[in-house]
Amino acid sequence: GENVEQHPSTLSVQEGDSAVIKCTYSDSASNYFPWYKQELGKRPQLIIDIRSNVGEKKDQRIAVTLNKTAKHFSLHITETQPEDSAVYFCAASRNTGNQFYFGTGTSLTVIP
Amino acid sequence: GAGVSQTPSNKVTEKGKYVELRCDPISGHTALYWYRQSLGQGPEFLIYFQGTGAADDSGLPNDRFFAVRPEGSVSTLKIQRTERGDSAVYLCASSPSGGSYGYTFGSGTRLTVV
């Protein structure tokens, strides 16, 4: 089965700085990679995703990169704001069934 | 409904008891998923329904866990003889047809076994 690893487990940055979270996956058949933001006690919310036919996707301050050969993908948040503080999860899935395999999460703290 | 609804939001039960957790997916979504999220961990897949049938139940940890979706909409996750290790947040998600588009999570049920 798929194994997704995520680093770092905790990350603190100053407001305005960038934050990078990295994930690796093991199943070469995985072709969809979403990123979720989860605030304390709330549901996971999709913030950006990427499919295996592209290498990079950007949405305002958030970008995701994918290296299929190396089986790793990363989340980049620029100009961080205190409201970006949350736990971020990466995930990987195949088309079939679409159950997601999640990383263990990164707790991001943006210091004002 | 507008989103995926899960009830109850919190459930405290005694060890050995039986519990049922309910998920009401977005109207018209044929695919429904259950996940379990332990403290400090990512959600872990339990079971996937396409319509009324369980298309993949490979994530259920043991035979104390069972889920049904008799009419292809609401699903119930059933846990027998609960153990303290079952304490977690149980998340439900649905998607329109089993693809990643429109995949939406509910807010979860926090189960505490004492």
Which whole number is the average pLDDT over B26-45? 94
Split at pLDDT 50, 70, 90, the class of B101 is confident
State residue A1's pLDDT score.
79
**Out of A34, A97, A105, closest to residue B98 by CB:** A97
Split at pLDDT 50, 70, 90, the class of B103 is confident
Alpha-carbon gap, residue A85 to A69, rounded angstroms:
31
Which whole number is the average pLDDT over A60-76? 96
How many other β-carbons are positioned within 10 Å of the β-carbon of residue B14? 8
Buried b (16+ CB within 10 A) or exposed e, B80-107: eebeeebbbbbbbbbbeebebeebbbbb
Structure token pair of residue A46? 């999709």
**Out of A89, A98, A104, closest to residue B95 by CB:** A98
Which chain A residues contact residue B105 at CB under 8 A? Answer: 36, 43-45
Average pLDDT across chain B, whole number: 94
Chain-centre distance for alpha carbon A98 = 17
The predicted-structure confidence for B14-27, as pLDDT tens digits, reads as follows 999 999 999 999 99
The answer to whether residue A100 neighbours chain B at the CB level (below 8 Å) is yes
